[in-house]
Structure 1
Amino acid sequence: MPEMPEIETIRRSLEPHIRGRKIENVEVLLARQIKWPEPEAFVARILQEDIVGLERIGKYLLLQLSNQVSLIFHLRMTGQLVYVAAGAADASHHNRVIIYLDDGARLVFSDTRTFGTLYAMHQDELWRIRGMAEMGPEPLSEKFTAEYLAAAAAGRKTRIKSFLLDQSKVGGLGNIYVDEALFLAGVHPMRLAGSLTGDEIQRLHEAVNRVIADGIADGGTTFRDYRDGNGGKGSHQDNLFVYGRDGEACKRCGTLIAKTKVGGRGTRFCPSCQKI
């Protein structure tokens, strides 16, 4: 699933192409992925409107339109949102919604497994997306401080891996970057969130910010489905310490990277660098 660095990369790569463009036409190829409002009303809300800005909230991408409506994409597992220039061919076989712009270009939403969702909401309706309305502070933001993290984790008997994946606690994190942050902080993923010391919280806060910043700098992580707004792959997969490296030697100590499950999620860690 695309996480905060991937969605931010998509936002940055799309913005130069589509900011200021008008939506001339909309082709809905799979109506059930439009969650609000009904598909006909969805199209009516965005048709003939200008795209005045792009925003990201956690893992949600918001296209701000000239009528105060936000066109919102939640890509989930296999969703892609790619800009296709006028006259260029689109290689995807899983297109679900195509947005035609006034310069002949297209914004193509494709999704192999069809878990992604789309919304067209006025500013006073955004509360309807519960995951976005209840989202916790994002890494790299002013509100995401070590003090906040310590207070949110205090007394919690949830595993720290599951705690960090809870979007109401920290917005935008997913499996890849949580595993990486826990490794850099030297914290075992099975530790209870409330058991972390002040020093561990400080290291974890710094590690979360680092992995997110590095992921953005590398254009995201591509193992299979993720593409940026130009259809390109990220490169952060080449710089991972533990995620996707189970059975391989730890880059720090040489111990084989282990894999377990925490809260039903596949979890990678180094048994030597992250002692429980």
Structure 2
Amino acid sequence: MPELPEVETVVRTLRKLVVGKKITSAKIIYPNLLKQPTNINQFETEITGQTINSIERIAKHIIFHFDNKVLISHLRMEGKWFYEEIGSQVNIKHQEAAFIIDDKMQLSYYDTRKFGTLHWQDVDNFRNSKPISTVGPEPFSELVTPNYLFNRINKSRKHIKTILLDQTIISGIGNIYADEILFDAKINPLKSGNELKLDDFEQIITSSRKILNKAVELGGTTIDSYQSAHGIDGKFQNYLKAHTRVGLPCLICGDTITKIKVNGRGTYYCQTCQVLE
């Protein structure tokens, strides 16, 4: 699943390719992709002739800015944007949308799992509407302080691993980076929110920024089938210290990395470095 670094990589790539270019025609191939508006013909008509002025990222969402509208893309599990020659579809079976660009190229959306979404909203109020309005601040935000996390989490009996995956509290962190952040912070993933101290939250913030900045620098993590865009592979998987390393020696203490399930999610940690007190 693409997390903050992978989505940031997609955004940086798309900016170089399509900002300033005009959409000359649009086709939604998989109707369930478009969540708003529900009238596909209306959307295809409205976006045709519009110029992509800029692209930003909010948490795991990609925001294409037009003159008075935005197109919000959530990649979910396997969504990918490809910039390709017209007619040269990477995998037509999984192509869900196609936008013809005025440079005779095509911006296509593919999704093998079909969980991705698109929302077409007014630029003036999209930040106050779903899906963006429910998204919590990113770890990089000045709003994310030890006190903010303490006030949001200190009464929770949920495991800290589960809490870090809650996008309404802190956004952009998924399964891979939650494992890496907790390993770096030396916090056991089974520890509940109400067991953590202010110093623990400060360490989580420090580790979050450190891990995510490094992952962004390396283009994200390419694991299993996920690739952020056509021909783009991240390199952070070469620097993982916990995630996927089950049975291997801990790079800090030499003990064996353990894999467990936390709220149904595969979780990797070191029982020595991340002791459950």
Is the deviation greater in 170-179 or in 152-161?
152-161
For residues 138-183 of structure 1, what are the alpha-carbon distances to aligned partners after superposition, in whole Å with 9 as ceiling and x for unaligned? 0112222233222222222221111111111001111011111000
Q: Percent identity?
A: 34
Count of aligned positions: 273
In structure 2, give the amino acid aligned to 1:51: I
Give the distance between the partners of 1:13 and 1:164, measured in 2 at CA.
27
State the match for 2:190 in structure 1. 190
TM-score (norm 2): 0.93
3-state DSSP class of the match of 2:80? Answer: strand
Structure 1 residue 212, shift from structure 2 partner:
0.8
Give the distance between the partners of 1:149 and 1:75, measured in 2 at CA.
27
For residues 192-245 of structure 1, what are the alpha-carbon distances to aligned partners after superposition, in whole Å with 9 as ceiling and x for unaligned? 112112322221111111111111011011113333345311111111111111
State the match for 1:12 in structure 2. 12
State the match for 2:41 in structure 1. 40
In structure 2, give the amino acid aligned to 1:50: T
Alignment check: 8 A CA contact 1:19 1:52 kept: yes
State the match for 1:62 in structure 2. 63
Structure 1 residue 28, shift from structure 2 partner:
1.9
- Gaps in structure 2 of 5+ consecutive residues: none
State the match for 2:273 in structure 1. 273
State the match for 1:89 in structure 2. 88
In structure 1, give the amino acid aligned to 2:148: Y
State the match for 2:160 in structure 1. 160
Give the distance between the partners of 2:50 and 2:70, measured in 1 at CA.
11
Give the distance between the partners of 1:78 and 1:215, measured in 2 at CA.
19
Spell out the pairing of 1:23-34 with structure 2 (5 A cutoff). Answer: 23-34=23-34
Give the distance between the partners of 2:130 and 2:224, measured in 1 at CA.
28
Structure 1 residue 77, shift from structure 2 partner:
0.5
Give the distance between the partners of 1:173 and 1:45, measured in 2 at CA.
34
Distance 1:188 1:96, change over 3 A: same
3-state DSSP class of the match of 2:45? Answer: helix
Give the distance between the partners of 2:248 and 2:88, measured in 1 at CA.
40
Alignment check: 8 A CA contact 1:82 1:231 kept: no
Spell out the pairing of 1:110-129 with structure 2 (5 A cutoff). Answer: 110-123=110-123, 124-125=125-126, 127-129=128-130
State the match for 1:150 in structure 2. 150
TM-score (norm 1): 0.94
Runs of 4+ with >4 A deviation: 125-128
- Gaps in structure 1 of 5+ consecutive residues: none
Structure 1 residue 26, shift from structure 2 partner:
1.1
State the match for 1:221 in structure 2. 221
Alignment check: 8 A CA contact 2:245 2:257 kept: yes
Alignment check: 8 A CA contact 1:45 1:120 kept: no
